[in-house]
Amino acid sequence: MAQPSSEKPPSVYLYIPNIIGYFRIIINFIAFAVWLALPVYWHFSPNFTGKTSHKDVKDTGNWLLKLYYGHRPFMAFCCVASEVLYIILFLFADEKSTSLLNVCRCFLKGSPLTFFVFISTLVGWALKQVINIIQYF
């Protein structure tokens, strides 16, 4: 009969996802402290001059930003698709998966429903990333 292992399992507080979470919290506090230390005219982006919000895109010539902020269903699709993509990638990953591409291949080989969900969330995610880049510049 096999002897039980004498090794004690690591504490749940030392799991990698929890350590990443701790690091994110610490970085947020540091970023907030740095922001408070900046002079008050630096707290706001110069791109907001004359605007009340970054969502005020009336004057911009970019059709994608106007679509995103002008039509709530499109904005909701992009936001929800982005979050759902992260969730389904997490759920379908296993210990044998060594890369993101291997997990994505599982969706492509799956049923038509999983293929459709994967592609539609991927499109929504990609649109949201493009919008974020456009908004940055």
Longest Cα separation, the chain:
77
pTM of the model: 0.57
Tens-binned pLDDT, residue by residue, of the chain (137 aa): 556 667 777 788 888 888 888 889 999 899 888 878 877 675 555 555 566 665 666 666 788 888 888 888 999 999 999 999 888 888 777 766 667 777 777 777 778 888 888 899 999 999 999 998 888 77
Rounded CA gap, 88 and 68, in Å? Answer: 24
